[in-house]
Amino acid sequence: MTSSTTETVAVPATSTKLAAGQKHRVLSGMQPSADSLHLGNYIGALVNWVRMQDEYDAIFFIPDLHAITVPQDPAELAQRTRVTAAQYIAGGVDVDKCTLFVQSQVPEHAQLAWVLNCITGFGEASRMTQFKDKAQKQGTDQASVGLFTYPILQAADILLYQPHGVPVGEDQRQHVELSRDLANRFNSRFGETFQVPEAFIQKESAKIYDLQNPTAKMSKSAESPAGLINLLDDPKTTAKRIKSAVTDTETEIRFDREAKPGISNLLTIYSTISGQPVEKIVADYEGKMYGHLKVDLAELVTNHLAPIRERAHELLADPAELDRLLAHGADKARGIAAATLADVYAKVGFLPYGGAR
Ligand code: AMP
Ligand code: TRP
């Protein structure tokens, strides 16, 4: 297996040289599988995306084809796709600086996935740990073949755009590795076609934990919603959840992930939202009670999220305009994807439509 990972979002030294004025390309996506993004998605992914769009040629998309690998309610999927897009934009993704689109509106994803399916080994696909976890949850016989080939569709998402970097969480490392393996395999069988992408893995410090169960990652599949901070929740709910966050029985405010996971999580959130280092926050709260920190953090977070929530609701109030922005993004994406797919089709020996070019 070919392995390469960068721990921050810096450009890896091994990357291809660029012409003057050209930027490295990054690509990422988040599934439209909840009614709101949570603070983990926001801090762990979206904030990084927004930061990257100036420095990189950034492509962000909503993988709705991936969403149907597990059963979905159609009306809910459509709504969640719009809600996810609205949150990306409200959170700072600028459609004039980057490319933002919905995966199913760019048919080349499914088309390239088929070709990649045909160069992926059954055993290789069987080793994907996320498939094993998800299939086990549903009972392996119930899991769809789509869920099995999910990582290959993800490889198609990536390879179509020839990106240098794929910013994702640690849980997606294996899928990016597979896309590297498939790129190398295709290139060596059919000739140089794909850029071999690097995984840009976000730093550990960006991980946000469940407020009620602070040793588990904040996740949409949490047992209770009380542990979640959702971008679209009303400020009262958010403040209440922060004030009810589980902490330990000591009183000292300090960062210690092992001994004090609850307080450490609140400090991480405080630090990432305020931009202040954890040490400074700890020093400021010396001698104060947990309650003080919680009250201040509730205010900080609700103030920070208020304009994002308002902007998302504005965007959702005009779905036709939102759909127009997404169609524009899909057109831009197709300009790149269609060229890669045409190259792939020619290399594998498919006849050109309408005769030789
Ligand atoms: P998911 O909602 O699990 O599909 O995750 C979408 C993106 O959000 C991925 O890039 C994750 O790494 C990131 N993410 C999800 N949960 C968290 C969390 N609790 N802390 C930090 N990042 C997260
Ligand atoms: N599988 C990713 C996740 O669950 C989402 C995804 C689909 C993705 N295609 C991608 C991420 C391509 C990066 C690049 O988070």
Mean pLDDT of 129-143: 85
Q: Note the pLDDT of residue 204.
A: 58
Cα 42 to ligand 1 centre (Å): 8
- Nearest ligand for residue 269 CA: 1
Is pLDDT above 60 for 91? yes
pLDDT digits (tens, 9 = 90+) for 211-245: 999 999 999 989 899 999 999 999 999 999 999 99
Is pLDDT above 60 for 12? no
Mean pLDDT of 99-105: 98
Mean pLDDT of 79-102: 98
Mean pLDDT of 25-40: 96
Average pLDDT over all residues of the chain: 93
Ligand 1 test: best mutation among 41, 46, 64, 83, most atoms within 8 Å of CB? 41
Q: Note the pLDDT of residue 7.
A: 43
Mean pLDDT of 25-46: 95
For residues 81 and 19, the model is more confident at 81
Cα 113 to ligand 2 centre (Å): 14
- pTM for the model: 0.92
Using an 8 Å Cβ cutoff, are 27 and 157 in contact? yes
Query: Which one-letter DSSP state was computed for residue 44?
Result: I
- Nearest ligand for residue 37 CA: 1
Show which residues are catalytic: 134, 217, 220
Q: Tokens standing for 216?
A: 């588990």
What per-residue string of b and e applies to 185-208 under the rule 16 or more CB within 10 Å gives b?
bbeeebeebbbbbbbbbbeeeebb
d(CA 351, CA 357): 10
Using an 8 Å Cβ cutoff, are 229 and 211 in contact? yes
Report the run of H or E that residue 28 belongs to, with start and end.
strand 25-29
Is pLDDT above 70 for 279? yes
Mean pLDDT of 109-135: 94
Cα 66 to ligand 1 centre (Å): 16
pLDDT band at 9, cuts 50/70/90?
A: very low
Beta pairing class for 99-102 and 57-62? parallel
Using an 8 Å Cβ cutoff, are 312 and 87 in contact? yes
CB 64 near ligand 2, within 6 Å: no
Up-side HSE of residue 286: CA atoms within 13 Å toward CB?
4
Q: Note the pLDDT of residue 267.
A: 97
Q: Tokens standing for 199?
A: 């995984």
pLDDT band at 21, cuts 50/70/90?
A: confident
Is pLDDT above 90 for 357? no
Mean pLDDT of 89-104: 98
pLDDT band at 205, cuts 50/70/90?
A: low
Is pLDDT above 50 for 188? yes
Give residue 117's Cα distance to chain centre: 23
